[in-house]
């Protein structure tokens, strides 16, 4: 599961400062009229106010037990209720709580999470997943889409499962697309990058991640030799055509963080090929840049004639 604290998913329960309470849990005249009109008991009014401001603040209805006591006290004071006023019991008074949530939705003009909302999330995430890979970023995109549509956020676990399922769909399509472009010979050459050649001490893949050092005149020869070697390998550009640059950078970053053994343990060959090709593409581009920088420094240092 994606760590919730890496996302923008709002969580209740944290103590708020006086300024935050005034800004986020202030009951205006419209709120007060609504609460007093829709609930008859002290517990009902306090609960309705808690649900109302919680939905406005968080984008969903928090469990009453998760709302910080200071927040409840702040709302009770605005309703001229005793600080000891209890909230409705979430186990024994489910029907009343359901009526309160429905009343809040009508009052705010918002909707519950539904199949239509799930389709909205699917459309937004599938489009974003063409550019993004991090599940946290995709979850944030889903939160944004639901917020703009005035739809309740589902439980974080629901959102996380849905987003990761959609992300897998996009990635699988990319893997299959690239794999379909590979000839048997190219696939064999990519596989060889993960093997230690006879007489060598490391794999070509590990060589991809090693550089000759800073680009300067005295390393031009090393950078030129490296570029010659890189260009002698598989040309990744036509194989990765139509994949966004952002996505390719993310795949390259993932590949760079993996050891050869971890790449070989990937059960989906298409994913392994995409990661290796993305890193090869990035390394070739960086090598050209470094060689160019070294050449420019050499020209700058050359004495004028």
Q: Delimit the domains of the chain by residue range.
A: 4-108, 115-180, 184-301
- Residue 302: its pLDDT value, please? 58
Q: Considering only CA atoms, which of 147, 191, 139 is closest in space to residue 6?
A: 139
- Residue 305: its pLDDT value, please? 47
Question: Over the stretch 131-144, which tens digit does the pLDDT of each residue have?
Answer: 988 999 999 999 99
Question: Over the stretch 108-157, which tens digit does the pLDDT of each residue have?
Answer: 999 999 999 999 999 999 999 999 889 999 999 999 999 999 999 999 99
- Residue 41: its pLDDT value, please? 94
Whether 189 contacts 288, CB under 8 Å: no
- Residue 296: its pLDDT value, please? 76
What's the number of CA atoms in the CB half-sphere (13 Å) around residue 238? 7
Mean pLDDT of 36-59: 96
DSSP, collapsed to helix, strand or coil, labels residue 151 as: strand
Q: Considering only CA atoms, which of 115, 92, 109 is closest in space to residue 56?
A: 109
pLDDT(180) > 90:
yes
74 φ, ψ (degrees, to nearest 5): -65, -40
Question: Over the stretch 91-101, which tens digit does the pLDDT of each residue have?
Answer: 999 999 999 99
Average pLDDT value over all residues in the chain: 93
Helix, strand, coil abundance in the chain, percent, nearest 5: 65, 0, 35
DSSP, collapsed to helix, strand or coil, labels residue 183 as: coil
pLDDT(70) > 70:
yes
**Residue 274, token pair as written in the block:** 């995409």
Instruction: List C-alpha distances in Å: 14 to 66, 67, 70, 278.
Output: 9, 8, 10, 42
Mean pLDDT of 253-264: 96
From the number of C-beta atoms within 10 Å of its C-beta (0-12, 13-18, 19+), residue 186 rates as middle
Q: How far apart are CA 64 and CA 57, in angstroms?
A: 14
Q: How far apart are CA 251 and CA 246, in angstroms?
A: 9
- Look at the pTM and tell me if it is higher than 0.85: no
**Residue 211, token pair as written in the block:** 């550089």
- Residue 16: its pLDDT value, please? 95
Whether 134 contacts 172, CB under 8 Å: no
Mean pLDDT of 58-73: 96
């Amino acid at each position: 599961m994606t760590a919730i604290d890496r996302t923008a998913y709002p969580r209740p329960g944290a103590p708020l400062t006086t300024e935050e309470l005034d800004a986020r849990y202030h009951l205006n005249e419209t709120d007060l009229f609504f609460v007093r009109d829709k609930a008859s008991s002290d517990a009902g009014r306090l609960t309705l106010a808690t649900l109302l401001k919680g939905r406005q603040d968080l984008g969903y209805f928090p469990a009453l037990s998760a709302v910080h006591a200071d927040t409840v006290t702040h709302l009770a004071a605005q309703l001229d209720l005793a600080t000891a006023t209890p909230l409705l019991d979430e186990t024994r008074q489910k029907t009343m709580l359901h009526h309160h949530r429905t009343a809040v939705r009508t009052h705010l003009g918002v909707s519950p999470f539904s199949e239509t909302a799930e389709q909205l999330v699917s459309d937004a995430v599938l489009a974003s997943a063409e550019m993004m890979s991090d599940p946290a970023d995709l979850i944030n995109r889903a939160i944004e889409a639901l917020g703009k549509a005035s739809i309740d956020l589902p439980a974080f676990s629901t959102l996380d499962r849905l987003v990761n399922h959609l992300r897998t769909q996009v990635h699988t399509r990319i893997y299959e697309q690239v794999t379909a472009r590979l000839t048997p010979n190219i696939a064999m050459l990519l596989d060889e990058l993960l093997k230690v050649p006879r007489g060598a001490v490391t794999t070509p893949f590990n060589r991809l991640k090693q550089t000759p050092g800073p680009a300067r005149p005295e390393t031009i020869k090393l950078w030129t030799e490296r570029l010659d070697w890189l260009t002698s390998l598989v040309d990744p550009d036509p194989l990765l055509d139509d994949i966004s640059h952002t996505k390719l950078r993310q795949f390259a970053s993932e590949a760079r963080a993996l050891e050869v053994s971890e790449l070989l343990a990937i059960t989906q060959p298409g994913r392994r090929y995409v990661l290796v090709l993305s890193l090869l593409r990035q390394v070739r581009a960086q090598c050209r840049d470094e060689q160019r920088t070294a050449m420019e420094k050499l020209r700058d240092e050359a004495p004028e004639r």
